[in-house]
Amino acid sequence: MTTLRLSPLALSRSRFALSPLAETVGTAIALARPHPDPWFASWRAHHLPDFTAALDADPFARGLIGLISSTKWLPGFVAVPPPDGMRTALTRELTALRAVSDDAFRAELAPSLTHSWRHHDLDWLTGRDWGPRTAALLDALWTAHIAADWPRRRALLERDVAYRAGLLAAYGWPRALEQMSRHSTWVGADAIRFSNRPGPERVIGDDGMLFVPVSLSTGTWLCQGPPDHYAQVYPARGAATALTPASPRRALERLVGAGRAALLHELAQPATSTELAARLGQSLGTIGGHLSVLRDAGLVVGTRVGRRVVYRRTEDGDRLAGERDA
């Protein structure tokens, strides 16, 4: 079993981060694998023709994405901890990728090939400058399949971080990590069991560990940077709402008004009034008024988590939003 051991100092400095590179890798894997989860099947069907055409036109892209999407060990050049926390930009991550030498690139492929469930030839690994070519490929995938959705995705990722940060403040890291993945669990007082696969124990450095949500992945992966610097990528909560906007429900809008209907739909995942205002592009006063009406009607309830009040739908709110059987 792969175990990550944290000193008290490392634990105190562990934090959350965002990685557009991880979001791009997760999206590429979701598009490349043949059996998508039902919740993003329609999104995948819309994007798949352009994605397939791009890979068919470039043997290097087809070979690399084929390997990435069929291995349990991602190449280290695409599994790097984000350098700037919640403010990490794709350009910064791709700059580091462009600097990867061909020798380092080839060396990182070896464990990925060993842990792949498909046989891979490396006849696609031709020419040179594989790091810059990979950066160009991922930049193109970002532009074609993520950029337009990024505000919506980022809001979802930030909401996941806010939710887990609330749990962290109230209950500590074990609760914040609950349900982060099927295999990651807290062990004792100072260790995280990352997966059930055999692997060496890793000691996290004093800078702590990063936890990075992504919207499309259903699995997790471990990123390693400088010595003892690690990040765990995990699927964000409520990802089904990131790529599948709610279908119009005219009857609900006529009943409670378009603004309150939109807010009720947004509360498919708990959120604060500030998060709802940013997500819906409305003022805090407007959001507060809507929440007051919905709360009085028994459709939402607020729970204090530290200094924040997190709102969620009640069962009646779920039924009215059409997301629970009456």
pLDDT along the chain (326 residues), means of 10: 85 94 96 83 90 97 97 95 95 97 96 93 95 98 92 89 90 80 74 73 89 86 87 86 53 69 85 88 87 89 89 85 56
Strands 210-214, 230-235: parallel, antiparallel or unpaired by DSSP? parallel
Place of tokens 């634990």: 11
- pLDDT number for residue 243: 65
pTM of this prediction? 0.74
Longest dimension (CA), the chain: 66
Residue 197: what pLDDT? 67
CB 234 within 8 A of CB 180: yes
Cβ-proximal residues to 273 (8 Å cutoff; 6+ apart), any chain: 284, 287, 288, 291, 309, 311
Q: How many CA atoms lie within 13 A of 9 on its CB side?
A: 5
In one letter, which amino acid is 183?
H
Query: Looking at residue 320, what is its pLDDT?
Result: 77
Cβ-contact 262, 250 below 8 angstroms: no
Instruction: Specify the pLDDT at position 297.
Output: 86
pLDDT at 322 (0 to 100): 67
**What is residue 21's predicted lDDT score, i.e. its pLDDT?**
97
Which 3-state string (H, E, C) describes 223-283? EECCCCCEEEEEECCCCHHHHCCCCCCHHHHHHHCHHHHHHHHHCCCCEEHHHHHHHHCCC
Q: State the pLDDT at residue 196.
A: 66
